[in-house]
Amino acid sequence: MSLYKERFDGRAFDEVRPIRAEVGIIPSADGSAVFETGGTRAIAVVRGPRTLHPQHMQNPQKGILRVSYGMMPFSVWDRIRPGPSRRSEEISKVTEWALSSVVDLSEFPNTVVDVFIQIPQADAGTRVAGINAAAMALADAGIPMREMISAIAVGKVDKTLIVDVNKMEEDFSEGEGSTDIPMAFTSRRKNIALLQLDGKISTDELKKAIEMGKVACEKVLEAQVEALKKSKSKGIENE
């Protein structure tokens, strides 16, 4: 029997926090986006493709994608130390791998596409919010993508699976083994582009968590597509 019967913010177990998604927020960038769920906000800025230096890092077959994720010092109440950390390096890498599964830079040999993700405000789930913002910013920059990517974190609090975990929920059963499962899916084939697991879970529960995440990602995708459509129609109006 689970002790966790009702969520602190009153959401249903499979309910995503309110989403806000917008592209083109930084006019001087090649692509940009903001993705917000509840108290978590991610900003992504894309620069490129441009020639990669130093030259020995270039790939003559295709361009490379480079992701940098960081949380702003004041994004959480106890302040984050500025600069890279093991955590930010890990999140940058997994985000890069997730996005690389859909981005096609074969037309841009010897180049780099840089994706900068910043978290000005964090209430858990920042890596998945970052992936959502980055995918939108890449599309906004016109980078060829085979599919879109949408991400969500599913958690297990006590024995209950919940979607889009917030920080209070994440902390609730810490020590007794709260489980956090960030995941990302491609929009058409529904391939898993990211799956991380921090904590313990049975195989059956993991399968259920993935299914819940997949359904929740449809909501994320809707918001991403809506935001991209809006910016397109704005562009047409301006022409």
Residue ranges binding ligand UDP (CB under 6 A): 76, 80, 87, 122-127, 153, 167, 170, 180, 182
Q: How far is the CB of 50 from ligand UDP (least distance, A)?
A: 29
Based on its alpha-carbon atoms, the radius of gyration of the chain, rounded to whole angstroms, reads 18
Q: How far is the CB of 111 from ligand UDP (least distance, A)?
A: 29
How far is 50 from 113, CA to CA, in rounded Å?
Answer: 7
Q: How far is the CB of 51 from ligand UDP (least distance, A)?
A: 32
Q: Identify which of residues 140 and 180 has a Cβ nearer to ligand UDP in the complex.
A: 180
Q: How far is the CB of 149 from ligand UDP (least distance, A)?
A: 15
Q: Identify which of residues 49 and 182 has a Cβ nearer to ligand UDP in the complex.
A: 182
Q: How far is the CB of 31 from ligand UDP (least distance, A)?
A: 22
Q: How far is the CB of 185 from ligand UDP (least distance, A)?
A: 16
Q: Identify which of residues 167 and 232 has a Cβ nearer to ligand UDP in the complex.
A: 167
Question: For residue 31, what are the β-bridge partners?
Answer: 46
